[in-house]
Amino acid sequence: MTKYEELAKILFEFSYREAMLDTPFKPRAYELASESVSALKDDIETAWRKGGIKALKDLPGIGQSIAEKIDEFFRTGKIKEYEKMHKDFPVDIWGLSRIEGLGPKHIADLYKYLKVKNLEGLEWALEQHKIRSIPRWGEKSESKLARGLKLMQHSSGRRLLGEILPFAEKIVAKLEAVKGVKRVTVAGSIRRRQETVGDIDLLATTADPKKVMDAFVSLPFVESVHERGKTRSSVRLKIGIDCDLRVVPDQVYGATLQYFTGDKRHNVLLREYALSKGFTLSEYGLFKRSHGARSAKPKLIVCKTEEEIYTRLGMNTPPPEIRVGADEIEAAQKHKLPDLIPYGSVRGDLQVQTNWTDGNSTIEDMAKAAQAAGLSYMAVTDHTKSLAFINGLDEKRLAKQGKEIDALNKSLKGFTVLKGTECDIHKDGKLDLSNEALAKLDWVGVSIHSSFSLSRAEQTKRIIKALSNPNVDCFFHPTCRLIGKREPIDYDFDEVLAAAKKFRVVLEIDCYPDRSDLNDSHVRAAVKAGVMLAIDTDAHAPEHFRFIPLGEAIARRGWATKKDILNTKSAKQLLAFLAKKRQR
Ligand code: DGT
Ligand code: CA
Ligand code: CA
Ligand code: ZN
């Protein structure tokens, strides 16, 4: 956020706050001032530099009292009255107001009755069907609000991989069942497992192109048809995303799949390299240029698979997840690609919430779902007491939970539940539970849920202090970003990485689709630094264990191998690893 965006946001929040308090005129005045700042940007600061408060007042939409606040903002970087307002009413008005139809009075109600402070809290309240309990709201307002939230999340145009991938897979399965079809593959950003995707790109080979196109445009998921051709069709799906299908001849399937997998930069680099080796490469195939007569046509090299293309070019095949047009082509040429962690390698989940706090199921039901998803252990990591609005655990309830876990473990076969926590990190880096309580747990995760906007230096210090506690095993969702909703918190990642290495703290790859945190580049840095990682779902419901492959994809995108990921170990190996760590 730039300085001017920050100022516009503050003025906008004042406007909403005044409206909640029913002050006449003021809301509109602040709104106008906020719009002025958004429009004028640095012109406003230039005016202030030249003529101070008086010059500000000459600008459209700015009167005396607002000019004074802007003056204070430019002089000190903050506005005292705003800080006070935010303390009394600690609500992310700006974030919530982005939802269509959610006005000042609604936001006030959400806080008054449900302590909803931000989009995350709102999502939770919707999931728990709490909205209908607010006086005068009812079920209708609840579903309207749910639609509004969805709409806002989708308005960026890009959608979460975790949301779209299951649909893409369903469509593939439907098309594979069409008579004559030989192969159907998802290409594009989905095949590369990018965290957000623009559309769904499908390729198929078939004996009967007309039949597969007919089937495609009449799929039950289709809302409307943009284009229907012999070899290419494009539709809009009901979930609000476009989907393209191309039918290609068998003998160029490799080249076409390679081309439409991308990414674009990878393709450009590969094509240049092919040229230097006497080939041309395009979506239509790999061709060998002849040295003889100029008129001689380049000769098509039949490549039914991608591997044949890369092999012909004298290199290994980089897995789609790492095709980003950086150093993967060079590594493939030198036959130095890492052995990326295979899907299905994760054996246990080290971040799981239950109905002791904000999860929706019992420990037993979560354990059964994890086992059904192919895992052999999980750590129960409910939130801690400073998250009072979700009933975070104090030392006493944590001990009680431990007893329940001991009893449950006696009845489970082939599955182990570990005692853990997602212990909140306070603003000063201290932890939310006593060391005595933490020392009794198998697995201690720590994470940040407040004071997101500390200065870079303060945030770095806070995190390193938390990681230096010898009871800490893992740093959960380390950047706190929520895709489309919250920017990552600002700190020196290299310093935190060095601290994680020094204190032997594991960093988490949180698979939850809007978190995807750490991301691919953080993972790559961690792998390089020799810091151990864990892949966790952050499950709050039994169906969330299916997110594991999304985290494995992030690990692959970050060039991680199996040995870089702690929870590819068995429960026994994991406990031995943790015991050894604590001895030091
Ligand atoms: P998206 O849809 O924005 O999430 O990202 P992609 O990568 O799926 O991009 P999309 O759908 O525009 O195109 C699919 C693939 O087709 C892309 O990854 C690479 C290939 N491609 C598309 N346009 C070009 C191009 O102009 N040049 C090259 N070399 N490749 C292209
Ligand atoms: Ca695409
Ligand atoms: Ca596309
Ligand atoms: Zn958390």
pLDDT tens for 162-183 read 999 999 999 999 999 999 999 9
The four Cα atoms 288, 289, 290, 296 give a dihedral, to 10 degrees, of 110
Is pTM beyond 0.95? Reply is no
- Whether 490 is in the pocket of ligand 1, judged by its Cβ within 6 Å, is no
For ligand 1, atom 20, the nearest C-alpha belongs to 260
Interval 463-475: pLDDT, tens: 999 999 999 999 9
Question: Among 76, 60, 74, 73, which residue's Cα sits nearest to residue 13?
Answer: 73
In this structure, the strands spanning 299-301 and 285-288 are antiparallel
**Helix, strand or coil for residue 273?**
helix
Q: Looking at residue 498, what is its pLDDT?
A: 98
- Helix residue ranges, H only, 250-319: 253-261, 264-276, 306-312
With contact defined as beta carbons under 8 Å apart, do 509 and 523 qualify? yes
Partners of 446 in beta bridges: 423, 475
| C-alpha distance from residue 505 to each of 173, 297, 434, 538 (Å) | 42, 60, 19, 18
Which pLDDT band holds residue 584 (cuts at 50, 70, 90)? Answer: low
Query: Among the listed ranges 297-301, 359-363, 568-572, which one has the minimum average pLDDT value?
Result: 297-301
CB neighbour list of residue 512: distance below 8 Å, 6 or more residues apart? 162, 477, 537, 538, 544, 547
User: What confidence score (pLDDT) does residue 36 get?
Assistant: 84
Domains of the chain: 3-153 (1.10.150.110), 159-247 (3.30.460.10), 252-333 (3.30.210.10), 348-581 (3.20.20.140)
Indicate if the alpha-carbon torsion angle 214, 215, 216, 217 is positive or negative.
positive
Per-residue confidence (pLDDT) for residue 295, from 0 to 100: 61
Instruction: Indicate whether residue 199 lines ligand 1 (CB < 6 A).
Output: yes
How many beta carbons lie within 10 A of that of residue 451, not counting itself?
14
**Which ranges constitute the DSSP H helices of 419-469?**
435-439, 456-468
Sheet holding 416-424, edge to edge: 348-352, 377-380, 416-424, 443-447, 474-475, 506-510, 533-536
DSSP structure string for 136-147? TTHHHHHHHHHH
* Neighbour-count burial of 185, counting CB atoms closer than 10 A to its CB (0-12 exposed, 13-18 middle, 19+ buried): middle
Lowest mean pLDDT among 23-32, 102-111, 469-478, 544-553: 23-32
Q: 479 CB less than 6 Å from ligand 1?
A: no
- Say whether pLDDT at 449 is over 90: yes
- Centroid of ligand 1 to alpha carbon of 185 (angstroms): 15
Binned at pLDDT 50, 70 and 90, residue 155 comes out as low
pLDDT at 147: 85
Q: Tell the burial category of 66 from Cβ atoms under 10 Å away from its Cβ (0-12, 13-18, 19+).
A: buried
Neighbours of ion ligand 4 (CB under 5 A): 447
Distance 209 CA to ligand 3 centre (A): 19
Mean pLDDT, residues 364-369: 98
Spell 339-374 as b/e; 16+ CB within 10 A means b.
ebbeeebbbbbbbbbbbbbbbbbebbebbebbbebe
- The protein residue whose alpha carbon is closest to atom 17 in ligand 1 is 262
- Which atom of ligand 1 is closest in space to residue 189's alpha carbon? 8
Query: What's the CA gap between 332 and 328, in Å, rounded?
Result: 6
Assess whether the C-beta atom of 195 lies below 6 angstroms from ligand 1: no
User: Is the CB of residue 256 below 6 angstroms from any atom belonging to ligand 1?
Assistant: no
SS3 202: strand
SS3 of 533, please? Answer: strand
* Residue minimizing CA distance to atom 5 of ligand 1: 189
Q: Whose CA is nearest to atom 28 of ligand 1?
A: 264
Mean pLDDT, to the nearest integer, of 478-503? 93
pLDDT for 290-329, tens place per residue? Answer: 776 566 778 899 999 999 999 999 999 999 999 999 999 9
Tell me the mean pLDDT in the region 26-54.
88
Q: What is the pLDDT of residues 195-219, one digit of tens each?
A: 999 999 999 999 999 999 999 999 9
Mean pLDDT of 231-238: 94
Could you give the count of Cα atoms lying within 13 Å of 568 in the half-sphere of its Cβ?
A: 18
197 close to ligand 1 (CB < 6 Angstrom): yes
Share the mean pLDDT of the chain: 93
Query: In this prediction, what percent of the chain has a pLDDT beyond 90?
Result: 81
Sheet holding 279-282, edge to edge: 279-282, 285-288, 299-301
CA–CA separation, 424 and 421 (whole Å): 9
The residue among 479 and 388 whose pLDDT is bigger is 479
